């Protein structure tokens, strides 16, 4: 299995530009998570999907952030317009069997976003 | 106050030393996760435990649910153990689902 796939691995953009991050979960996993990691705040949940349906988006910072999961094998996180404070590493993770306390989450390699 | 607190934030050890990383949490949970983040950035799950102790190679994780405390121990540490270790507590988020709440991580450096 290829694991969770994220693209791009690195993104450098200018303030005001639209950024789209992509994630392919592990085949058969029905829950997908988007996390953001910064030095100051560590790992934070942005949004998660169960069976392609957004369950909790309370971690999404503001309306500039949006996420979609059109099918079981693909999700996007979009930032429009981007700002320098959005610079962080964005991780996607997936798990099977529902979102239960004991379920292991499998993380993608992350996308390092730099907004100038 | 963070719901999940780790200590220490940074730890430097000599190769061969016994290492302990601590995690305390305030959320009510039935399980706790330990993750490892490599210097290259990748995150892998080390343990999920709900009681007692688990061992995997030189890594041992313990948990006391009543005291809301967990520890990760590394015996005979090696430079390849250098990484950030993160504990995470599943917090109920409604509709039968849980989301992970993370500690800030402990950065471990093992010197040859």
Q: Which tens digit of pLDDT belongs to each residue from A67-82?
A: 999 999 999 999 999 9
Q: Strands, E, within chain B: which ranges? A: 4-7, 10-14, 19-25, 32-37, 43-49, 52-56, 59-64, 69-74, 83-94, 97-102, 106-111
Which pLDDT score is estimated for A99?
A: 67
- For residue B18, give both structure tokens: 């016994």
Rounded to the nearest integer, the mean pLDDT of chain A is 92
User: B-chain residues within 8 Å CB-CB of A110?
Assistant: 41-43
Rounded to the nearest integer, the mean pLDDT of chain B is 90
Which pLDDT score is estimated for A98?
A: 66
Q: Is residue A37 predicted with pLDDT exceeding 90?
A: yes
| B80 in reach of chain A (CB within 8 A) | no
Q: Is residue A8 predicted with pLDDT exceeding 80?
A: yes
Compute the average pLDDT of residues B33-42.
90
Q: Is residue A112 predicted with pLDDT exceeding 90?
A: yes
Compute the average pLDDT of residues B31-45.
90
Q: Is residue B68 predicted with pLDDT exceeding 80?
A: yes
CB contact under 8 A, A42 and B97: no
More confident position, A52 or B27 = A52
Residue B36: pLDDT band (50, 70, 90) is very high
CB contact under 8 A, A45 and B99: yes
Q: B15 CB contacts (<8 Å, ≥6 apart)?
A: B77, B78, B79, B110, B111, B112
| B93 in reach of chain A (CB within 8 A) | yes
Compute the average pLDDT of residues A90-97.
91
Q: Is B80 helix (H, G, I), strand (E, B) or coil?
A: helix
- Mutate one of B10, B37, B43 to test the A interface: name it (highest A CB count within 10 A): B43
Compute the average pLDDT of residues B19-28.
90
**Angle at CA of residue B30, ends A27 and B4, nearest 5°:** 90
Predicted confidence (pLDDT) per residue in A41-59, tens digit: 899 999 999 899 998 888 8
DSSP one-letter code for A86 = G
Which pLDDT score is estimated for A7?
A: 97
Compute the average pLDDT of residues B60-78.
94
Q: Is residue B97 predicted with pLDDT exceeding 90?
A: no
Share of chain B above pLDDT 90, in %: 66
Q: Is B41 helix (H, G, I), strand (E, B) or coil?
A: coil
Compute the average pLDDT of residues A36-41.
92
**Nearest residue, CB atoms, B105 vs list A42, A44, A102:** A42
Which pLDDT score is estimated for B105?
A: 94
CA-nearest residue to B39 within chain A is A109
Residue B1: pLDDT band (50, 70, 90) is low
């Amino acid at each position: 299995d290829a694991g969770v796939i994220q693209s791009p691995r690195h993104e450098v953009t200018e303030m005001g530009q639209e950024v789209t991050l992509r994630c392919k979960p592990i085949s058969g996993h029905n829950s997908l998570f988007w996390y953001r990691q910064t030095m100051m705040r560590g790992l934070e949940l942005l949004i998660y999907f169960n069976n392609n349906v957004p369950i909790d988006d309370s971690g999404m910072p503001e309306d500039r952030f949006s996420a979609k999961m059109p099918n079981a094998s693909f999700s996007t996180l979009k930032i429009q317009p981007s700002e320098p404070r959005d610079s962080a590493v964005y991780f996607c993770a997936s798990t099977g069997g529902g979102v239960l306390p004991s379920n292991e989450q499998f993380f993608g390699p992350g996308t390092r976003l730099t907004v100038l | 106050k963070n719901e999940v607190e780790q200590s220490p934030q940074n730890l430097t050890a000599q190769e061969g030393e016994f290492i302990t990383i601590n995690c305390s949490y305030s959320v009510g949970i039935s399980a706790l996760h330990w993750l490892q983040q490599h210097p290259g950035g990748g995150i892998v799950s080390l343990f999920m435990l709900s009681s007692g102790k688990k061992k995997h190679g030189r890594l041992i994780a313990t948990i006391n649910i009543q005291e809301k405390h967990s520890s990760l121990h590394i015996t005979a540490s090696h430079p390849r153990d250098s990484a950030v270790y993160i504990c995470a507590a599943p917090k109920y988020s409604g509709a039968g689902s849980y989301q992970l709440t993370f500690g800030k991580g402990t950065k471990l450096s093992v010197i040859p």
